[in-house]
Amino acid sequence: MVDIDYDQAYLNLLSDLVQQVEQVPEHCADCAQFAVVHDTVLRSVDQISRLISASRQVTAQPSLDQLLQMVADTTIQLMRAEMGGLLALDEDEETIQSFKVSGLFQEPHSIAAEADILHLPYRQGVVVRLDDICDDPQAMGFSPGHLQMGAFLAVPLMNKGRTLGTLFVANRPHGPSFDADDECLLLAFASQAAIAIENARLCTQSKELTLLHERQRLARVLHDTVAQHLFAIGLEARWCIENSALDEQVERRLQAIRRLAAHSSCQLRSAIFALYRPYLAEDDGLLDLLKAQVMEFQARTHIAASVIASPQFPSLPPQIGQAVYSIVCESLANVYKHACSQAVIVTLHCDDDSVTITVQDDGVGLSEELVLSPDPNGLHFGVAIMRQLTEQLQGDFLIRNTDDQGVLVRARFRLPAGSRS
């Protein structure tokens, strides 16, 4: 199958049209009507040729940011203007995402924040064409020292009913103002640019989704293989220590292996959290991840587990969110390995200035030796890690037996002012 370059085919047809017009008998050249038609055809051919060339340039840009700048640069070339640019809106069609300029600007000036006239095209869906922008009251507000602007033309960037922003040009070196033909040309290019921008956004979203799936796949692989292997190494080392007659040096090495396995397991959980976190929703991402972790724990261990959270649980600063996640994971691991528990409850509570995470089981509880002796071995090592994570963030950590039975783990973190949303 042969690929057809339709743009080049159109250019060839236009070139043929020009040749046909130029070959009209010479006596027609004296006809005033023919002269008008001749000039109109040549101008239209020139505009269409430039439009096709401009459209090819902007559709070849791989990234959104590069595309937006290319649209700004191509616009002034297409319109033969001294300056121009575009104001691009975010996906919400309200927030300004980017402002790109090209031409004789002395610097990338924040014209979008000053000139109300640039907001008219996308807010009202209208074309703004002025012989002199300084004569229009809606153009007031440019800062002192801004490059003098005269003739001005701005059109909305629209695609399938979606508002993407404003495309504009200013100043004509070879003419006093922009005319109706220029307006049609810029509108045609704006239509092509809007399609290219939407395609670039879809491409970016597709790449982000692919990356998300890959990160989640890696997280699952780490959790299902490496994390389980580390857990198995710790269990084997513990069995050897408790069930074998070992000399002192071998026992020390086995204890070291057990501690390293526990420490590596904690670091691995943090890495798994980091793989998930950048792509989680702001408000409920941590809560969703904790619920998924608890559900997976229940399915794997057959220990009843649940999560209770404050209504409208807020987003947390990243370091606190990671500490909360790590503490829950470590606590659940300890419940499975040591508690002989039938049920465990994870509770998250948030008030105006702090967040508290509590993990409580109904198991056998802590031994007296463990309560009185904070030696960083075995279960103590995981407790030490949780305490360290909490204290590094100026939080408060507690682990104790409950009044009835089982163990309660609680960590409270103070939230920075204004961080709760």
Q: How many domains does the chain have?
A: 1
Contact 361, 407 (CB under 8 A): yes
220 part of a folded domain: no
Q: What is the DSSP string of 72-110?
A: HHHHHHHHT-SEEEEEEE-TTSSSEEEEEEEES-SS---
287 part of a folded domain: yes
State pLDDT tens for residues 75-95.
888 888 888 888 888 877 778
- Rounded to 10 deg, the angle between the 32-59 and 64-79 helix axes is 170
Site of tokens 């972790």:
293
In angstroms, the Cα distances linking 327 to 97, 173, 230, 266 are 38, 67, 18, 9
Q: Which domain holds residue 409?
A: 282-421
245 contact partners, CB below 8 Å, separation of at least 6: none
391 part of a folded domain: yes
217 part of a folded domain: no
SS3 content of the chain, % helix, strand, coil (to 5): 55, 15, 25
Q: Distance between CA atoms of 24 and 227, rounded to whole angstroms?
A: 82
For residue 111, name the pLDDT band (cuts at 50, 70, 90): very low
83 part of a folded domain: no
238 part of a folded domain: no
Contact 410, 356 (CB under 8 A): yes
Mean pLDDT value across residues 119-145 = 73
At residue 165, the 3 state secondary structure works out as strand
355 part of a folded domain: yes
The mean predicted confidence, pLDDT, of the chain is 75
More confident residue, 418 or 271: 271
Q: Distance between CA atoms of 290 and 348, rounded to whole angstroms?
A: 10
Q: Distance between CA atoms of 201 and 196, rounded to whole angstroms?
A: 9
Backbone angles phi, psi at 399, to 5 degrees: -135, 130
pLDDT of residue 352: 81
Query: Domain with 416 in it: what CATH number?
Result: 3.30.565.10
Question: Is it the case that residue 402 has pLDDT exceeding 80?
Answer: yes
Q: Distance between CA atoms of 276 and 213, rounded to whole angstroms?
A: 10
Q: Distance between CA atoms of 47 and 11, rounded to whole angstroms?
A: 11
The encoded tokens of residue 129 equal: 């064409």
pTM of the predicted structure, to 2 decimals? 0.49
H/E segment holding residue 388: helix 379-392
For residue 284, name the pLDDT band (cuts at 50, 70, 90): very low
State pLDDT tens for residues 211-248.
777 777 777 777 667 877 887 787 788 888 888 777 88
pLDDT of residue 408: 92
Amino acid (one-letter) located at 92:
D
188 contact partners, CB below 8 Å, separation of at least 6: 51
240 part of a folded domain: no
